[in-house]
Structure formats: C-alpha cells, structure tokens
Chain A
Amino acid sequence: MAIYTKEEARKIMEKALSFSTADACEINISGSESGNIRYARNTVSTAGHRSNQTLVVQSNFGKKSGTATIDEFDDASLKKVVARAEELAKLSPENPEFMEPLGPQTYDESVTFSEATANITPEFRAEVASSSIEPAVANDTTAAGFFNDSSGFSAMLNSNGLFAYNKTTNSDFTVTMRSNDGTGSGWVTRDYNDISKFDAAEASKVAIDKAVLSRAAKAIEPGKYTVILEPAASVGLLGNMAGAFNARTADEGRSFMSKEGGGTKLGEKIVDERVNVWSDPQNTEVPTATWNGAGQPLKQMKWIENGVVKNLAYSRFWAKEKGVDAVPFPSNFIMQGGDASLEDLIKGTKKGILVTRLWYIRTVDPQTLLYTGLTRDGTFYIENGKIKHPVKNFRFNESPIIMLNNLEALGKQVRIDGNLIPYMKIRDFTFTSLSDAV
C-alpha cells in the first residue's frame, strides 16, 4: 500500500465525487501499514504484517444516508461504490439527527508523521525483541512483550467543498518481565510517533528492575493509603473521567456531569484547584491529527481549569439543539504536572504505596464515576522517604473525582498512550481487598 500524498488523495476523492448524484456526498480515504512482533517465554511467538486501504462514501438524500466502502480505486470501482452508497441511502430510514456536511475549514499543520517510524523493518522489530529477551535471560527473568508500528494517512472531501488530509506514524511497546521464581513481575510501556525517541533496552531494564525488586512481596492490610501513582497507573482512571465530558449525556441527566435538579456541572469546581486538563493536537510530545472524522478542526481546548469544568463536548447535532457552538471530543489528554521527579515524590512521603499500574478497570457506578480494578507488576511500600519492600497487589474501588480532590502533589509529565500525564501523589486512595496475583 502506498501512503498517498495530499494531491494523490484529493485526485481520487474528486473522481469519486464526480460520480455522485446525491443531495450531499462525503468521501473518506485512508491507508495504513503496520507490523508487529510478539514474544513470550524468552522467545518469539508470532510476527505479522498488515496493510489496509479503504475509501468510504457517504451519500445523503434529505435526511437519509447510506455508506459504502471499497478498497480498489480505479474509475469503475469508484463509480460502483458511489452507486452502492446512493442505493443504500434511498433504502434507509430517515435519521432525525442528520447534519449537513461541513463547508470548507482551515486546519493547523499536524506534526504526527515521522519518516524514521515509517521506515521500520522486520529486522528492527526482531532487534526490539532481542533487546528485551537477552537482558531478561541475564537477569533470571522471563520476557513477554509486544511491539507494533504503523504508518498511514487519512483524507476527506465533501460536496460542500471541505478537504482535509493528514499522515501519521505510531509505535507502541509493552513488555512484562517475570522473575523465574514466579514471585516478582515488572512491566513497562512506551509509545511514540517518532521511533527515534524509543530505546527498547532502556525500557526493558525498567521492567526487569521492577520484576527483581517486587519479588517476595509482603501482605499489608487493605484500607485507605497515600499513593504515588505512576502515569501508567492513573491514565485509565483519567481516561474514563474524560468520557464523562459529554454534554449530551450530562444534559440528559445520566452522567456524573449532570446536576441535581437539572443542568450540568459546567463552570463548577469538581476537583482540587491544582488540576488543569486540556487537549492539544499540536503538542509535539503527543501530537494528533488537527481534524476529526466529522471534518471539524481540532484546536487546543481547556477541559478543567483550576479544578473547574471549563468545557463539555458538544456534537454538531447536540450543539444545534442547544444553540451553542459545537465542541469536538478531544483527541488527546494533557494534565499539568510539576517539577518533582518520582524520586522526589518518594523522598517526600512518610508512609505510602508506589503503584506501577492499574489493571482490569471497570465501571462500578457511572453516577459517581466509581471504578474497580487491581494494582499489577510492581507495588511497593514507602516509609520515611524510601521504598521499603514490595507489597502484594490490591483491589481498589475509587473514583477519579475523589482521587483528584485528594491530590497531595504533582510530579513530572510522561507520555502514556498518546496522553501527557504527571506522576501524582494522592491521599486516602481506597484499596478494598488483597490479591495473591503476581
């Protein structure tokens, strides 16, 4: 598959659009190539390569829409796919929430593509696996890991004159190191648009050190503890909280963001005043495309400012219903941090627990954003500013809202799953039971 240039993509879509007889028509074209390697028991288990290219046509007659897809882009195929979309549209029920396609928009330049990532070879992936497996063997641990890289483009064009294009690269790495006596486990994750920032050996060492340090954990009573959450530990809870910033469910009365007696929590203080959260597609550490699937431009947007809900996301339909401007959902999530390193946070903690990551997080109560899950792959007891010993894993039942009200300190930001999240020290984090899992 080729990564089409802006001009090539536009030409194919213009051709498709020329076959349209519908009231409105929108064309999306995308393509990607990805490769992966998976290993376990200190040896490679599977490896794969995928390539995809797709052109999607959405045709509308009044409020009726039909969508059809094709993976070949010659004239006959384009004509066929447009005809199919129109045929489907005519047969579809009316969608009362249908919105006319947007007109021309202005987008910022995106910084999501890296030539180095696009040029990754199978040999590079094998080298990533070796950089984990060799030190694992040398340290009496067993590695199980996964590395995936991808490069691709996406573009859209509609009958109202909107055109958008973006190309992007991504890479994701995770590895679990288990001590060969079965009593210790460590884990690490890294993700980058630009692979030249990635050091597989450095990352693997973090996981090995945690596996060795976490051996023979001691059980301590569950209860409320001061915790230091690594960014990998808090990202799941924060991501779930971000899902609540939906104006429609808030207005409908079925969200944490809904208010007693009606209305929403927009403008209300919901967490500690040191909490600031925004999204920014052009942040060079966590870049994303500068437009979304509806063709809306994505700009920097504040969601929580000094603990106060600053914006809720409005779809185009819901914005029209409510007579406000549409606010697109964020494409990334940036939380303001501080200057403290992890070591500084540990040093300043009299008694507490360091959490590497939280696992199997599920909603318990959407009303209070209460979630449950477990600690995993490195949980340590801190006493008088030092890591004293590893502790057995805990199950937690906690709400990110309560957690961010109990904020003690913010540390440095780290990229995690495409977001920037700081280390956080939180008091009274609720652990409800012990787990024997290693």
Chain B
Amino acid sequence: MKRRDFVQYAGMGAGALMMPSLLMGSEIPVEALLDPGMDVVLKKRMADVALNTAKSLGASYADARIGRYLNQFVFTREDKVQNVVNTESFGIGIRVIANGTWGFASTNDVSEKGITKATNQAVAIAKANSKIQKVPVTLAPVASHGEVSWKTPITKDFKEVPVSEKVDLLLSANAAALDNGANYVNSGLFMVNEQKYFASTEGSYIDQDVHRIWPTFGVTAIDRASGKFKSRQALSAPMGMGYEYMDGLASEKLKGPAGLNLYRRSYDMVEDATLAAKQAKEMLSAKSVEAGKYDLVLEPNHLGLTIHESVGHPLELDRVLGYEANYAGTSFATLDKWESKDFKYGSDIVNLVADKVQPGSLGAVGYDDEGVKTKEWDLVRNGVLTNYQAIRDQVHMIGQNESHGCCYAQSWNDVQFQRMPNVSLEAGKEKYSIDDMIKDVEKGIYIAGRGSYSIDQQRYNFQFGGTVFYEIKDGEIVGMLDDVAYQSNTQEFWNSCTKICDESDYRMFGSFFDGKGQPPQVSAVSHGSATTRFNNINVINTGRTI
C-alpha cells in the first residue's frame, strides 16, 4: 500500500504518514498472533550458523537478528468497521564487518541453508564495498552479556484481548463523538509486538519481547452554510505498554485548563472523543488569532513534538557528521559548538535527557539492536550542550568509547543504524502547577496536542501548530483561538524557556512512525515533559481567504 493510499484509507492524517508498506507484513488469522514462534534454543542455533559462517569467511565481526514482528491494526469510521488487520513478518538479518567494511543481507528462509546463503551475501557485499572504503569501521567495546532476556512490562497482552472488545471500544468512542455533535469520526488502534533475538560475535544472546500501542482518532465538525470544517485529533499518546493503556484509569487523569482532559499512563478514549466533538464544533466559531508575540504555555502532548524536531533530531551524531545529508539533512549543532563546552542550547533551567529505559516509553528496551545495554544520558545540562546520540561505529568520532545504546532497525529485513532514543525535558525543580504557568502571563496562548510541524534540514527554523489553542489574558484563559502557528529558531526558542511545571505534571508524548534513512525506516520514540512556558514567541495567523 502506498503511503498516500494508507492515509486516505485510514483517514487519520499526519500521524499515520510514515506507515511503510513493509510493516504490513503478511496477513495472518488472529489466533496465529498467539503462536509462540521459534523456540529460543533453536534461535540460538540458527544465529550461531550466521556467526560461525561469517567468521569462517573472514569477517572480524558479525551479528544476527532473528525477528518476528506481529501487528494488529483496527480501523473504523462512524458506526462501521473498515478493517481489522493482523500481520506477521519473520526472518533474519545478518550484519558483518569484513575488510573493515560493513555488509548486510537478510532472508525469510530461517534455515541453515538460507542463513548460510545470506551470510555469504553479507560478506561478499562487505568485501566488494571495501575497495572504495576510505576509513575502516571502528567499534566501541561492548560487554558480553551471555544469554539474557527482556520484556516490556505489560499487564494485558493485546494479542489476548478479543478483536470484538477493541472494535466495541472504537465504535463507542465514535458514537460518543457523533452524539456530541461531530459529523464524522475515524478511529484506529495500532498494536505492535516485536519478538527479537540478537546474537553477536561479542558473546551476547539477547531475547526481547517489545510491545507498543497507539489508539487515535480524528473528529470532524462541519458548518455547511459557511462551508467551514474543523478537525480535532485525539489527545492520546502512543506508548510502550500493553492493552492496559486503554483502561482509562481515573488515577492517571489530570484536569487541564478550559476543561481539558489530560492523560498520563492510561487513556479514556470515549471521554476524549466526547470532548473532541464539542471542541471541533467550538473551533468553527473560534476567534482568529492576531499575529504577534505571545508567551506560550505548552502542554506535554504538544511540546513532545517540538522536542522531537528541535532537540531529538539535531543531536543525532550521524546527522551532525553528514551521513543523512541527502535526505533528512545535517545539523546546526556542529561538533565545534559541543567542543566549546559553553554552547547555550537553552536557558539555565533547560535539562534535556536521552534514555532507552523510561517505563511506558516507546524507546524502552533492555538492549539495543547491536547488543548494548540501554541507559540514560544527558544531552543538555543547565542549558549547555553536553552530548549527542551515538552508536558503536560512530561514538569514537566524538572521543568516547562507550556506545549510547540507541541502534535500531525497523525489521529483520533492514540494517540497524542510529535512531533517536527517548529525548525528554526534565520537570522543573520548583513546585509549579499548570495554573502557575498561566497566572502571570499577560498575553499568551495555551497549546495542547500535536498539530502541523515543519523544520529546516539543519533544524534552525521551525513552525508548529497544535490540536487546541486557548488565549491567555492577564493570567486567565479567556477563550478558544484558531489559525495559530508559532515560528521560531531552535536556540532562541529554548533560551526563552522561563518556567517548567514540577514532576506531578510530567507526561509522555510519542511518535509511532518516525522516519529516517534511505531506504526509509520508521521507529517509535517518546518525549516526556511537564507543562512549560516560553516567553515572547512569534505567532502567525494561518487563516486565508480563497
């Protein structure tokens, strides 16, 4: 399925844009999701076939990833189920270093014969490309972990929840939206289980079981007379959790400004759809913003995308070094700025942390896709740029000898490379609530949820919209706004950060289909923050008359 077809089909807009056809895998009956898959003893034997073959062919390093990727997607609109898709993809990817050069090959023939053939291809590619390789690959050392395993700590496996229960939940949310004035509603549930086995010539055999979930919807209200239409997207976040995320626990809910319902680690889809319909209708007559400078109070499910684009991507070391120059681009955060040890990325209260371990996050795994144990590390401390995101073959280029553990491939069929870990803004140390962010703002806008986003190829200039906008006047929310987008420069923006809520408001935003590389691969990543204020930001009016 082409990307555009998928988006038209799912009717959910930008959130689904990076859905690759590959991830669709092969369709299987729902019960087949519960098959245990290949036994770990056999996986080890098959992985050893790859490692031993590679060594016998002269490879100095090899790793093998046996992956079984299970997906279930449910799509509905109004009172109809559009589709229920169950897919499975199974195979092995083999990566080697021969003559100091990488080679990679993959196959879905996970037999001795298939693996031997693919390993030969990987070594042959490495040797062929070594003729034009200028600098041999250098790997940072990694611990030998022996035989270990890791699982996303879930309490409800989506594969054990009947499809009818999922369909009922989506149709209930749709009905709630229609009952509250929506003209149209599309909803969907994306559920992913990566069962991946990693083995390398460094002596690690790692079995991992990773779960992710993303419930989402788009509610549309129409005013036929004026021809105007407005959509309000879900305020859910994709999470590294099981189906328990759909429980809608009261203990995980927060009341936001203007009656907003905000969610931590449990989502109430029916409640959100109810409010979405009311807000979509309200948007039809909301006041059009007056362009100018505003103090922005940004809710975590909005700020996460700004963090993703303006901090996550520019601090990927492969971008900084030029490996992504032809596609996503390079970075303003060049090595000389980092080497100076005083590059002010943000104001003194800005602390940005990378991690692959936060419970419930999309990035959380025990080990990355090259067998490095995951951890947390600083990117920006007290406003100063302190580090990047790097993996085994690049971290030596910044004088470090330990990978950060953020190597990832979207499937067994793709080669692993550096991908963004969770990148989060630490909550403020002083005790501040959301009201504290708003009460001393004279002229401002409160923005919740993700919207339109665009940033240049070196990550200087960006423009962001949002899901809902509220005008702040003299410390009070006074009403809904429309046609809002803010434009800024990454460094100026983060240096205008003046106040951050405390830990009690910390929540996660997530991106389920973040794209990078050629051919492109997706990955899933979370960004935590608490509600944060940025002073004096340029807001434009996006309304047009045609």
Contact = CB atoms under 8 A, between A and B. Distances in A.
Nearest to A133: B132
A377 B53 CA distance: 45
Interface stretch (B121-129, B268-276, B421-429, B528-536): B121-129
Nearest to B86: A88
A374 B456 contact: yes
Interface in A118-163: 122, 126, 129-130, 142, 144-146, 148
A259 interface: yes
Given A176-B325, A370-B542, A363 B27 contact: no
A170 to B, nearest CB: 13
Interface stretch (B100-108, B245-253, B255-263, B384-392): B100-108
Given A48-B415, A49-B105, A144-B322, A253 B227 contact: yes
Contact of B540 (A42, A50, A361, A432): A432
Nearest to B164: A93
Interface residues of B, number: 75
A254 interface: yes
A70 B90 CA distance: 12
A438 B28 contact: no
A41 interface: yes
A92 B229 contact: no
Interface string A355-389: 00001111111111010111010000000000000
Which of B135, B224, B225, B545 neighbours the largest number of chain A CB atoms within 10 Å of its CB? B224
A428 to B, nearest CB: 13
B222 interface: yes
Interface stretch (A190-198, A275-283, A343-351, A391-399): A391-399
Interface bracket on A: 35 or more
A437 B228 contact: no
B483 interface: yes
Interface string B182-196: 011000000000000
B461 A258 contact: no
B224 to A, nearest CB: 5
Interface in A72-105: 84, 87-88, 91-93, 95-97
A55 B452 CA distance: 38
A8 interface: no
A44 to B, nearest CB: 5
A436 B461 contact: yes
Contact of A46 (B132, B415, B542): B415
A68 interface: yes
B150 interface: no
A34 to B, nearest CB: 9
Interface in A26-75: 36, 38, 40-50, 54, 56, 67-71
A40 B483 contact: no
Nearest to B85: A67
A43 B544 contact: no
B487 A433 contact: yes
A122 B127 CA distance: 13
A246 B519 CA distance: 29
Given A68-B28, A178-B322, A395-B461, A374 B80 contact: no
A261 interface: yes
B546 A54 contact: no
A435 B461 contact: yes
Contacts of B542: 364-365, 370, 397
Given A91-B30, A95-B81, A144-B325, A361 B454 contact: yes
Interface in B419-471: 452-461, 463, 465
Given A176-B326, A374-B454, A395-B487, A44 B544 contact: no
B25 to A, nearest CB: 8
A7 interface: no
Given A41-B323, A44-B129, A359 B519 contact: no
Interface string A254-283: 111011111000000000000000000000
Contact of A362 (B14, B28, B330): B14
A69 B28 CA distance: 7
B321 interface: yes
Given A253-B222, A261-B227, A262-B224, A399 B454 contact: no
A365 B134 contact: no
A47 B125 contact: yes
Given A41-B321, A144-B325, A84 B84 contact: no
Q: How would you classify the secondary structure of chain A's contact residues: helix, strand, loop or mixed?
A: strand
Given A46-B104, A93-B167, A36 B519 contact: yes
Contact of A376 (B457, B463, B546): B457
B543 interface: yes
A260 B227 contact: yes
Given A48-B415, A70-B26, A438 B458 contact: yes
A363 B28 contact: no
Contact of B325 (A40, A84, A254): A40
A80 to B, nearest CB: 11
A23 interface: no
A292 B125 CA distance: 36
A114 interface: no
B56 interface: no
Contacts of B134: 42-43
A262 B223 CA distance: 9
A142 B167 CA distance: 52
Contacts of A36: 518-519
B410 to A, nearest CB: 13
Given A40-B325, A71-B108, A146-B326, A374 B461 contact: yes
A142 to B, nearest CB: 7
A96 B80 CA distance: 7
Contacts of A260: 225-227
B8 interface: yes
B222 A372 contact: no
Contacts of B102: 46
B180 interface: no
B519 to A, nearest CB: 6
B329 interface: yes
Interface string B311-337: 000000000011111110110100000
B29 interface: yes
Contacts of B485: 364, 372, 397
A174 interface: yes
A49 B460 contact: no
A365 B457 contact: no
B220 interface: yes
A54 to B, nearest CB: 7
B413 interface: yes
11 contacts: A97-B82, A174-B326, A174-B327, A253-B224, A259-B227, A360-B455, A365-B483, A365-B543, A365-B544, A395-B454, A399-B544
Given A36-B519, A401-B546, 18 more contacts: A43-B134, A48-B105, A92-B84, A146-B327, A175-B326, A178-B325, A256-B546, A258-B229, A259-B227, A260-B226, A363-B452, A364-B542, A368-B543, A370-B542, A374-B454, A395-B463, A397-B485, A437-B458
Interface of B: 4, 8, 13-14, 26-30, 80-84, 102, 104-105, 108, 121, 125, 128-129, 132-135, 167, 183-184, 220, 222, 224-229, 231, 321-327, 329-330, 332, 413, 415, 452-461, 463, 465, 483, 485, 487, 489, 518-519, 538, 540, 542-546
